[in-house]
Structure 1
Amino acid sequence: MITESFYLGPTRRPVPLTSWDEVVSAAQAGVLDETQWVELKQDVPASSKSANLELAKDLASLSVDGGLLVIGVADADRKAGDVVGARLQGLETRIDQVAGGQITPPLSVTIVRVDHPDDDERGVLLVGVPASPDAPHMVDGAYWARGATGKRRLSDPEVRRLMTARQAQTAGFETRLRAMAEDFEIPALTRRKGHVYLLAEPLAPVHAQPAAGHHETLLQMVTSAVRFRPQFIPTIESLTYQRADPDGLAATSFPPTEQLKQDLYALRGLVADDGQIAMTSSGGTTDPSDFNGERPSQQFVDAGHILELTHCLAEITGHLSSERFSYGGPWRLGVRVDRLYGVPATAAMDDRMGRRFAGYPRAEFVRVVTATTGELVSQTPDVVGRLLEPLLRGLGVTSQYLPYTDPRSFAGGASRR
C-alpha cells in the first residue's frame, strides 16, 4: 500500500498529497518550497545518460536526511510556483530503474502519481525518499547530500564522518537494546522466564512536545494506537502503573513499590521525549504451572505473545510517528529474546500431530530492521514478519504464524486470556 503522507523535514508535519487539490493547496501555502528536504522539478528531461545521472544525484542527496522530490510543480526561485503537471508516461518505471541501478547501494523510494484533472497525460509525481541507513549513497563516483541551496557533492572528510556516525548509530542501537534488561526490576535469583525486549528509534531527529508533557497516561497513549484487542498476557492493557522516568512517559504492569518475587506477567513500557519507544515483557517463555498452580516444569517459547507484542510496538510506532511526533521518516526496530537455548515453542505443549519440536538452538535471538513510517502504518504484518521470521524458523513454527493479516490469528497459545 502506498503511503499517503510525505516527510518534508523535522519541523513540519507529514503532508497528505493524494489529490490535485491537495498538491495545489500545499504549493500555494509554501509547504512545497525547496528546502534541504524538498527538491522541485517542473519536468524531467527525456531519458539520457546525463539526465538519468542528474536524477540519481537528486535522489541520493535526499537519502541522507530523507525528503521529497516533486515533479510537475514550477520552481520559482526555489519557491513552489504553479502546479502545471509533467508528462508522466514511463517516468515511474524510469525513476525505479535509476534508484535501483545508478545509485550505490541501491535506494528504495516511494512513488505516488497525482493525475491532472483535465489532462490524462499529465500529472504530478511525488517521490518520497526515506533517510537511508546506508547513506551517503554514491552516484558517478561521488557521494551526495543536500544543504539549504540544494544538492551538493560531499567532501572525503564529510563522507567519513557520515559513515562513522551511521556505524555508531547502528552499534549503539543494539547496545541500547541489550541494556534494556538492566531496567527490568526482576531479581536475577528469582527469574525463571525468557524475556522479550522491543525497541524502536527514529533514524532522524524527532522534534515534538515531550511525551511526559502530555496530559495522558502511557496506557491511554498506547492503547489508542493499537487497532485490535491484545489477547496474550501480559498485554499492553496491563500498563496501569505510571512510573517517574527521566527519559519520558513510562508505566509498568506492577506497582512501583512492589518487589517482584517472580517474573510472571510483568511488562514495562516507555515513550521517550526523543521518540524512542521501548517495551520489555517477562512473557518470552511460559510454563504450564503459570496457569494450573503446579510446581514449575518445562519452559516453552510463547511465539504468540512475542508476535502480538511486536505487532503492538509496530502499530504504536507508526501511529505516534505520524500523529504525535509529526515524523514521516524511517525507523530502526529491534527485538531481543533471551534464555532460549533448548526451549521449544508452545506448539509442543499441545501437539496432536505427533511432531517433534526441537528446542531453540541458541541462547538468544536478536534482530534489527529498518522500516518507513508508511510501512509501519499500512504494512504492519510485513514489518513484524521481517523481525520475527528467523525466530519462528528456528522454532520450526513459521507456517503456523506467517504470513498473517490479522494479529487476532495469533490466539490459541498457552497464554491466551
Structure 2
Amino acid sequence: MREHHWIDVKLEVGGSEGAKKEFARDVASFANDGGLLVIGVAEDKANRAFSMASVPLVGLPEQVDQILRSRCDPPLFVQCHPIEDPANPGSGVLLVEVPPSPLAPHMVDGRYHGRGDTTKHALSDAEVVRLFERRSARQVVTRALIDVEIARDPVPPDRGIEARLYAAVRATAAPPELLTEHLMGHEIDRLVRARAEGPGWKYWRLLSEDEPRAAGRGWHTYGLNSRELWLDHDKVRTAADLEVSDNGSLALFVSRLSFEKRVGDGKQKFLHDGDAVAVVRGLAELVGSLGTTYGYQGQWQLAVGMTPLAKVVSADVGVAWVDSPEDVLRYSAEDFVSGTTATTAECREQPGAVTRRLMYRLVRALGTADRRVELFA
C-alpha cells in the first residue's frame, strides 16, 4: 500500500481545533476528483511502510460528518465504511469515501485545497478558475438535456399553457445494458410504484400504466401510450410519464403544475412549486433505489427544467395578496433549469440535499424556500 493522488492515510482524526481543520482540508482536497481517506493506519515515513493502528469506531463516522458539515464550505458529502478489527472489537479502520463533488472546490478556513501525487496543497487562482469553469460547463450540458426533453413533450404547447416539469437523469459510467435484464421485471416496477408512498405521491400515482418501449420501459398516465397523447387534453387533467432506459437513464415529464385564477380585474397564474419540489425529491430517491438494487454505485447527472413560468406566483400565496399585489413575488423568467451530479449513495442517504441543489433557486425566487425545509432535509 502507498499513498496516491486518490488515497491518503491518517492515524486518527484528532480532537483539537487544529486537527479538525487539518482533517477537513484533507477531505476537501479529495472532493475535486474523488478519493479515499483511511483512518487508523500508522505510517513509517523513513521506511515507507504502513501498519494497522486500530482506532475506536463508535461515534467516529458521526464525528467525521460533523466536522465536514461545519468546516467545509459548502458542506461536503462522504460515505464512511467502518471495518472492525477482529482482535479488537469496537475498534478498527474507517474508510472515508469522498466522491467527486458537484460543488467543488470546497473552502476550508478561507482557502481552497487540492491534491498532488501524494500530498494536498492550496489551490492556485488558475486551478480554482478551472474548477469553477468545469461546474459552469455542467450547466451547459444540463440545458441540452432539458431541451431534448422539452422537444419530446407529449402534450403540444397549444393544448395548454400550464407549467410543466421535465427531468433527465444519466448514469455517467454505467454499462449500456445495466438494466436490460431487469426492465420488465416486478422488482423495478415495485421501485417505481413505491414513489407513490413518498414525496410527490399524487403525481407518481399518475403512472398507472406501463409498457415496453424502444428506449426501455415506460410508466405513464392513461392516454399517454408510447409517450404520445391519445386522448383529448381536456380528458387528461394532469399527465405524467417516466421512461427508464437500458443504461439506467431516466426521463420524467409532469404537466399542469400551475393554474389560473381570476384576481381582481385580471387573471393570475399560480405555481404548485411545493409539488414540483416533492416530485424531484421522489426522483432523487428513485435514483438511489435503482443504483443500490442493480449494483451501480457511481455518479449520476440530474437535470430539471420547468416552463412556462413567466410571472407565476406560488400557490402557497393564494389570493390574500389582492390588497397589496406589489408585495407579491412573481417569477421573473420564462423557464427554470438546474442540474447537479450525485452518487447513488447520496441519492439514497441524502435525497434532500440533492433536491436542494436542484430546486432551491426556484423556491428562493418565489419566496417559499422556508416552506420547503422538510423536503430539503
> What TM-score comes out, normalization by structure 1 length?
0.62
One-letter amino acid of the structure 1 residue matched with residue 166 of structure 2? Y
- The answer to whether the Cα contact below 8 Å between 2:164 and 2:256 also exists between their aligned partners in 1 is yes
Work out whether 1:185 is the aligned partner of 2:139. Answer: no
Q: CA deviation at 1:260?
A: 5.3
Unmatched runs of 5 consecutive residues or more in structure 1: 1-32, 76-80, 290-296, 408-417
Match 2:310 to one of 334, 341, 348: 341
CA contact (8 A) 2:207 2:240 kept: no
* Distance (whole Å) between structure 1 residues aligned to residue 5 and residue 247 of structure 2: 20
TM-superposed deviation, 1:314? 1.2
Shift of 1:311: 1.6
2:297 matched to which residue of 1? 327
Residue 130 (1) aligns with residue 103 (2): no
Structure 1 residues 385 and 169: alpha-carbon distance in aligned structure 2, compared to 1, 3 A threshold:
closer
Report Cα offsets for 1:112-171 as digits up to 9, x if no partner. Answer: 48476876996423222111336689999996467xxx78999xxx99998876654442
Cα contact 2:312–2:330 (8 A) shared by 1:
yes
Provide the C-alpha distance between the structure 2 equivalents of 1:227 and 1:208, rounded to a whole number of angstroms.
Answer: 30
2:209 and 2:220 in contact (8 A); partners too = yes
Match of 2:287 among 283, 298, 317: 317
Q: Following the alignment from structure 1 to structure 2, what is the Cα–Cα distance between the partners of residues 184 and 280?
A: 7
Identity of aligned residues (%): 25
Other-structure match for 2:46 = none
Q: Distance in 2 between matches of 1:66 and 1:236?
A: 38
| Distance (whole Å) between structure 2 residues aligned to residue 298 and residue 229 of structure 1 | 27
Distance 1:361-1:160 versus aligned 2 partners, 3 A rule: closer
Unaligned runs of at least 5 residues, structure 2? 44-49
For residue 384 of structure 1, what is the aligned residue in structure 2? 355
Residue 253 (structure 2) pairs with residue 280 (structure 1): yes
* 8 A contact 2:112–2:128 mirrored in 1: no
Q: Would the alpha carbon gap of residues 45 and 344 (structure 1) be closer, same or farther in structure 2, given more than 3 Å must change?
A: closer
1:84 shift after superposition: 4.4
Contact in 2 for aligned 1:136/1:144 (Cα 8 Å): no
Distance 1:377 1:94 in 2: 19
> Matched residues in 2 for 1:271 and 1:119: separation?
46
Q: Kindly state the Cα deviation for residue 306 of structure 1 after the two structures are TM-superposed.
A: 0.8
Equivalent position to 1:364, from 335, 342, 345: 335
Q: Is the 8 A contact 2:304 2:338 kept in 1?
A: yes
TM-align CA RMSD: 5.3
Structure 1 residue 266 corresponds to structure 2 residue 239: yes
Sort the Cα spacing of 1:343 and 1:34 in 2 relative to 1 into closer, same or farther, 3 A: same
Equivalent residue in structure 1 for 2:220, among 248, 252, 269: 252
1:201, 1:210 → 2: CA distance?
Answer: 12
Aligned length: 353
Change (3 A) 1:251 1:138: same
TM-score normalised over the length of structure 2: 0.67
Aligned equivalent of 2:179:
211
The change in CA–CA distance for 1:347 and 1:268 in structure 2 (over 3 A counts) is same
Q: Displacement of 1:39 after TM fit? A: 2.9
Is 1:402 the counterpart of 2:372? The answer is yes
Would the aligned equivalents of 1:341 and 1:361 in 2 still touch at CA under 8 Å? yes
Shift of 1:64: 4.9
Name the aligned partner's letter for residue 254 of structure 2.
S
Higher strand share: 2
CA contact (8 A) 1:219 1:237 kept: no
Compared CA separation, residues 192 and 39, structure 1 to 2 (3 A): same
